[in-house]
Amino acid sequence: MNDCIFCKIARGEIPSDKIYEDDLVVAFNDLHPQAPVHVLIVPKEHFSGLNETGNMSEELLTRLLRTAALVARKLELDKSGYRIVSNCGPDACQSVQHLHIHLLGGTKLSEHMA
Ligand code: DGP
CB 65 within 8 A of CB 58: no
Question: How many Å lie between the centroid of ligand 1 and the Cα of residue 71?
Answer: 18
Q: Which residues are identified as catalytic?
A: 100
How far is 83 from 77, CA to CA, in rounded Å? Answer: 10
Indicate the pTM of the whole model.
0.97
Tens digit of each residue's pLDDT (9 = 90 or more) over 35-86: 999 999 999 999 999 999 999 999 999 999 999 999 999 999 999 999 999 9
- Main-chain phi, psi angles of 34, to 5 degrees: -105, 0
Ligand 1 geometric centre to CA of 76 (Å): 23
Return phi, psi of residue 19, to 5°: -110, -30
d(CA 111, CA 8): 34
Ligand 1 atom closest to 17 (CA):
21
